[in-house]
Amino acid sequence: MRWRNGFIAVDWGTTNRRAYRLDTAGACESEFEDDQGILSIAPGGFPDAIAEIRRCLGDLPLLLAGMVGSNRGWVEAPYVACPAGLDDLAQNLAWPGEREAIVPGVCFVGDGRADVMRGEEVQLLGAVATGQVPADALVCHPGTHNKWVVVQRGRIESFRTVMTGELFSLLRKHSILADLLNADAEPDDSFRRGVRHGLDEDDLTSELFAVRARVLLGEARREDAASYTSGLLIGSDVRIGLSDGGATVCVMGRPELTRLYAEAIREAGATPNELDGEQSFLSGIGAIATRI
Amino acid sequence: MRWRNGFIAVDWGTTNRRAYRLDTAGACESEFEDDQGILSIAPGGFPDAIAEIRRCLGDLPLLLAGMVGSNRGWVEAPYVACPAGLDDLAQNLAWPGEREAIVPGVCFVGDGRADVMRGEEVQLLGAVATGQVPADALVCHPGTHNKWVVVQRGRIESFRTVMTGELFSLLRKHSILADLLNADAEPDDSFRRGVRHGLDEDDLTSELFAVRARVLLGEARREDAASYTSGLLIGSDVRIGLSDGGATVCVMGRPELTRLYAEAIREAGATPNELDGEQSFLSGIGAIATRI
Q: Has residue B246 got a pLDDT over 80?
A: no
Domain with CATH 3.30.420.310 in chain B: 162-276
pLDDT band at A147 (very low <50, low <70, confident <90, very high): very high
Touching check for A244 and chain B: CB below 8 Å? no
pLDDT level of residue B244 (50, 70, 90 thresholds): confident
CA-nearest residue of chain A to B206?
A: A162
**A107–B164: do the CB atoms touch at under 8 Å?**
no
Instruction: Decide if B288 contacts B103 (C-beta within 8 A).
Output: yes
Partnered with residue A32 across adjacent β-strands are: A19
CA angle B210, B211, B213 (to 5 degrees): 55
ipTM of the predicted structure? 0.94
Nearest to residue B169, comparing CAs of A228, A171, A48? Answer: A171
Say if B113 is an interface residue toward chain A (CB within 8 Å): yes
Give me the mean pLDDT over the B19-41 stretch.
92
Cα torsion angle, B204, B218, A125, A11, sign: negative
- Under an 8 A CB cutoff, do A115 and B171 touch? no
Asked whether the beta carbons of residue A205 and residue B171 sit closer than 8 angstroms, the reply is: no
H or E stretch covering B161: strand B155-162
pLDDT tens digits along A250-269: 999 989 999 999 999 999 99
Of the candidates A167, A173, A174, the beta carbon closest to that of B205 is on A167
**pLDDT at B49 exceeding the cut of 90:** yes
pLDDT surpasses 80 at A184? yes
Structure confidence at residue A271 (pLDDT)? 97
Angle at A242 between CA A239 and CA A248, to 5 degrees: 130
Residue B107, CA distances (Å) to A28, A213, B34 in order: 59, 8, 28
Task: Please list the residue range(s) of chain B that carry CATH number 3.30.420.300.
Answer: 7-134+279-289
Q: Residue B87: enclosing H or E segment and its boundaries?
A: helix B86-91
Residue of chain B minimizing CA distance to A232? B205
* Average pLDDT taken over every residue of chain A: 95
The shortest C-alpha distance from B102 to chain A (Å) reads: 19
- Assigned CATH topology for domain B7-134+279-289: Nucleotidyltransferase; domain 5 (3.30.420)
Q: Report the largest interatomic distance among the alpha carbons of chain A, rounded to a whole angstrom.
A: 67
**Chain B, nearest residue to A220 by Cα:** B114
Answer whether A163 touches B (CB < 8 Å).
Answer: yes
pLDDT in tens, B249-283: 999 998 999 999 999 999 999 999 999 888 899 99
pLDDT digits (tens, 9 = 90+) for A106-136: 999 998 899 999 989 999 999 999 999 999 9
Distance from CA of B60 to the nearest CA of A (A): 33
pLDDT band at B14 (very low <50, low <70, confident <90, very high): confident
Q: Are A12 and A32 contacting, i.e. CB atoms less than 8 angstroms apart?
A: no
> Which tens digit of pLDDT belongs to each residue from B177-223?
999 999 999 999 999 999 999 999 999 999 999 999 999 999 999 99
Count the alpha carbons within 13 Å of B241 in the hemisphere toward its beta carbon.
35
Q: Per CATH, which fold does B162-276 belong to?
A: Nucleotidyltransferase; domain 5 (3.30.420)
When computed from its CA atoms, the radius of gyration of chain A, rounded to whole angstroms, is 20
Q: Give the pLDDT of residue B279.
A: 86
